[in-house]
Amino acid sequence: MEREVLEFDVQFVGAGPAGLAGAIHLANLVTKHNETATTTGGTALPELNIAVLEKSSEVGQHGISGAVMDPRALRELMPDYVAKGCPIEAEVTGDDVYILFEKSQFRLPFLPPALHNHGNAIVSLGELSKWLAAEAEARGVLIATETPAQTPLLDGQKLLGVRTGDKGVDKHDNKKPTYQPGADCLAKVTVLCEGPRGTTAKQLEKALGLNAGKQPQVYATGVKELWEVPAGRAQKGRVIHTMNWPLTADTFGGGFIYGLSDSLWYVGCVTGLDAKDPTSDPHGNLQRLKTHPLVSALLEGGKPISYGAKAIPATCTLTMFSIILFCSTISVSAIGPTQRISTSNCLA
């Protein structure tokens, strides 16, 4: 079968913040090098063909997380990001951490250092990705949407590029009249930015033995809703994290609530996928979290306007450890003799 062959100097697989920031940084480095070469009589680089491959029809469609972003890396990448219109929903104005019980809660009197969010910003990951894509295109980067990387192209242990998925194929892998074979996207350098458990990365792990002798990765599922409430009911810039209920003592995870404006909340729950209970339900945990008096009071009179879920690599071990140490210093007698703190839970 003949396939179209596309050749790039560098290609990034995945148009999320990582892939787009990488493409922008590379384009900036090339521009800076050539400007220096012009003034010093050095050798300028030829124009690089940089591409970002994105599986969705529009950049940002898979960036569903509500996020609190530390702007440090973005500031280093683009010092004038605010002047350029970076879509920041709100600056963080307040942090709260609650230990939840089924009908009550306990607010931590002070925050562990890892959970101080002052100076950070609440953003929509989807909108941030769209903005980064526009900045990348302004630097000459090709954004190729509807281009899902499906198979890595290997020559021994060298990654030559990726093959995109065939189109016009039914669920039984039979070709339909609209069949169109995928293309081979070749590059001198291919950077995988697929997110957790990416299609190409999973195949490379097996083919190249990347997991051999390594600690297995642990994953969680984050489920999030965007809620619209009557004006004045939400608190722009407020960040709330919860732990313990509705999760069990041996389940990793926690809840989060972020205020985008005076009428919009992000509310979500993260559930570890290594839970001992095989019936652990990430979606059900979010629905239970919303019934808690603390959360239901924030959402009263509102309605959900969007919903999403995604896999999350559970890499907040240090944060979890700091929370456990912190919680171990709290006097249980100050909370109540019938209430139990689960120190094995981690914040979202």
User: Is 88 within 8 Å of 67 (Cβ atoms)?
Assistant: no
Whether the per-residue pLDDT at 320 is higher than 50: the answer is no
What is the percentage of the chain residues whose pLDDT exceeds 90? Answer: 41
Query: What is the rounded CA–CA span in Å between residue 3 and residue 174?
Result: 18
- Which residue reads 């019980």 in tokens? 101
Confidence of residue 251 (pLDDT cuts 50, 70, 90): confident
According to the model, what pLDDT value does residue 293 have? 94
Confidence of residue 315 (pLDDT cuts 50, 70, 90): low
The Cβ-side half-sphere exposure at 187, using a 13 Å CA radius, reads: 22
Structure tokens at 97: 């951490």
According to the model, what pLDDT value does residue 171 have? 82
pLDDT per residue as tens digits for the range 321-348: 344 444 433 433 333 333 333 333 333 3
Whether the per-residue pLDDT at 295 is higher than 90: the answer is yes
Residue type, 251: T
SS3 116: coil
According to the model, what pLDDT value does residue 76 have? 93
User: H-helix or E-strand containing 272?
Assistant: strand 264-272
Cβ-based burial of 272 (10 A; exposed 0-12, middle 13-18, buried ≥19): buried
Query: What is the rounded CA–CA span in Å between residue 104 and residue 98?
Result: 10
pLDDT per residue as tens digits for the range 94-122: 889 999 998 898 998 888 787 788 889 98
Whether the per-residue pLDDT at 43 is higher than 70: the answer is yes
Strands 149-155 and 158-164: antiparallel
SS3 228: strand
- Locate all alpha helices (DSSP H) within the chain, ordered by sequence: 17-40, 72-77, 125-138, 199-208, 282-289, 293-299, 317-327, 332-335
Confidence of residue 178 (pLDDT cuts 50, 70, 90): confident
pLDDT per residue as tens digits for the range 264-274: 999 999 999 88
According to the model, what pLDDT value does residue 224 have? 93
196's torsion region: left (phi>0), alpha (psi -120 to 50) or beta?
A: beta
According to the model, what pLDDT value does residue 198 have? 86
Query: What is the rounded CA–CA span in Å between residue 226 and residue 88?
Result: 16
Strand partners, 313: 219
When pLDDT is averaged across residues 174-199 and rounded to a whole number, the result is 89
Residue type, 27: A
What is the percentage of the chain residues whose pLDDT exceeds 70? Answer: 90
Whether cis (ω within 30° of 0) applies to the bond prior to 278 is no
Among 222, 248, 202, 228, residue whose Cα is nearest residue 102: 248
User: H-helix or E-strand containing 4?
Assistant: none
Instruction: Determine if the pTM surpasses 0.95.
Output: no
When pLDDT is averaged across residues 21-32 and rounded to a whole number, the result is 94
Query: What is the rounded CA–CA span in Å between residue 307 and residue 310?
Result: 11
End-to-end CA distance of the chain: 47
Whether the per-residue pLDDT at 137 is higher than 90: the answer is yes
